[in-house]
Amino acid sequence: MVVDVDICGLKIGDEHPVRLMGVINLSRESFYKASVADSNSILNVAHRMVDEGATILDVGGRSTWPLSEPITKEQELQRLLPALEILQDNVDALISVDTMFSDIAEKSLKLGVNIINDVSGFTADEKMVDIVADHGCPVVVMASNKVTGDPIGMDAIMRSLDVIINKALSRGVGDDQLILDPAIGKWVAEKEPIYDLETIDQFERLNVFEKPLLAAISRKSVIGEVLDKPATERLFGSLAATAVVVSKGAHIIRTHDVAETLDIVKVAGAIRSRTPVVKNGDFEVSVLDIKHPSDAVIAMRGVGATETGSNVMKNKTINRVLRIRNITTTEALIIKQEMLSRGGDAALARDAVSHETTKTDVIITGTLLQMERLINKLEGQARSLPLISKMIREILDLQMDVEYRYSRKY
């Protein structure tokens, strides 16, 4: 399925340009002070961002930076409402309000706001999901469980968004109202930069939800950690990360730096390949690029498969290709036979097949389930096959190990 939605007249999806959401902060507590506007400057800031290429403006009265000084809802309203009145009918862009509270969202919608951006993913205020359902407005929901942005690691992010989507749909929110945000940033103290690096690198996993995807990377802490630079000096790092997520499927980029980001998203969007889809009447065939077994469960449940059936099948959906170096010809032939008997296969040197050489490399290919069964079989074999089985298991584990993959020196 190709993502193609109409957000208040703005086309968003795989076949449309990546959209820029310009950040307008009304909060003096923001981690990036240069982004803060007030009632005297907001209209000029908004017009500049639109002229630079923003089609959505995200207005926030409360800093969501975890280290910021907290403010009351009354203070948030005092900042937001006058600003929204100034922007109403005066800018050629959709207006989004960054708030976690249902009463503030409702007042904002009555002033003509188009989109609600709830970084708590409906966890801060239980009534928010009902306000969104009642108004039928688009909503950005960020991965959150108990507190804002608390999922740590891409697997946790996927589970969180899955729960949020199901909750929203069960409460009457339309399937085409939801925009997903994977919560890049140090939202909770225990979240290390490697988890944001993982999210950026594996951003394409979010495509399994078949929803518009928003990336909010601009000048975030992970950029600062990699570069060892303050927020004022993170522009180029932000642009590098932005190019990656756009190439992996992001549809909306939330940014403080609209003009500088525009060329990046155009080029990265052009590089991003299209997902093959063939339609004929009521029929459609598309490619699902599943990267992780748990993502396969989400996809299968989406077509009505049971949780039990989906979990049984998940390790059949992911294929691995491994290279084993410098094993004996006999060991290679045993591995090939064992893979063939399980529906996989193995390639080895022609001379090894005819026993004209004593050593060879082997390339094995199969699903995770086939690999697991091969490992179990080789554990009881002779020669070096038990050691090789242990090494195969270790390499498969390392491919899923966040610390191994991302915790090298920057």
Instruction: Flag the least confident range among 99-103, 305-309, 405-409.
Output: 405-409
Which pLDDT value is given to residue 157? 98
Whole-number Å distance between alpha carbons of 222 and 405: 16
Over range 315-329, report the average pLDDT. 95
pLDDT at 324 over 80: yes
Whole-number Å distance between alpha carbons of 76 and 317: 47
pLDDT at 409 over 70: no
Contacts of 186 (CB under 8 A, 6+ apart): 66, 193, 196, 220, 221, 222
pLDDT grade for 410, boundaries at 50, 70 and 90: low
Which pLDDT value is given to residue 40? 81
Over range 333-362, report the average pLDDT. 92
140: phi then psi, degrees, rounded to nearest 5: -90, 125
Over range 116-123, report the average pLDDT. 97
pLDDT tens by residue, 230-254: 999 999 999 999 999 999 999 999 9
Contacts of 287 (CB under 8 A, 6+ apart): 275, 276, 277
pTM score of the predicted model: 0.93
| CATH 3.30.1370 residue window(s) in the chain | 318-402
Contacts of 43 (CB under 8 A, 6+ apart): 86, 87, 90, 91
Over range 217-226, report the average pLDDT. 95
Over range 303-318, report the average pLDDT. 94
**52 C-beta neighbours (distance < 10 Å), count:** 15
CATH architecture label of 318-402: 2-Layer Sandwich (3.30)
Over range 201-215, report the average pLDDT. 97
Using alpha carbons, select from 68, 339, 96, 87 the residue that is nearest to residue 216.
Answer: 96
pLDDT at 357 over 90: no
Which pLDDT value is given to residue 28? 77
Alpha helices in 17-153 (DSSP H): 42-52, 73-87, 102-110, 128-135
Over range 259-286, report the average pLDDT. 94
Tell me which of 3.40.190.10, 1.10.1740.110, 3.40.50.150, 3.20.20.20 is the CATH number of domain 4-272.
3.20.20.20
**407 C-beta neighbours (distance < 10 Å), count:** 12
pLDDT tens by residue, 58-112: 999 887 777 777 888 898 999 999 999 999 999 999 999 999 999 999 999 999 9
| CATH 3.20.20.20 residue window(s) in the chain | 4-272
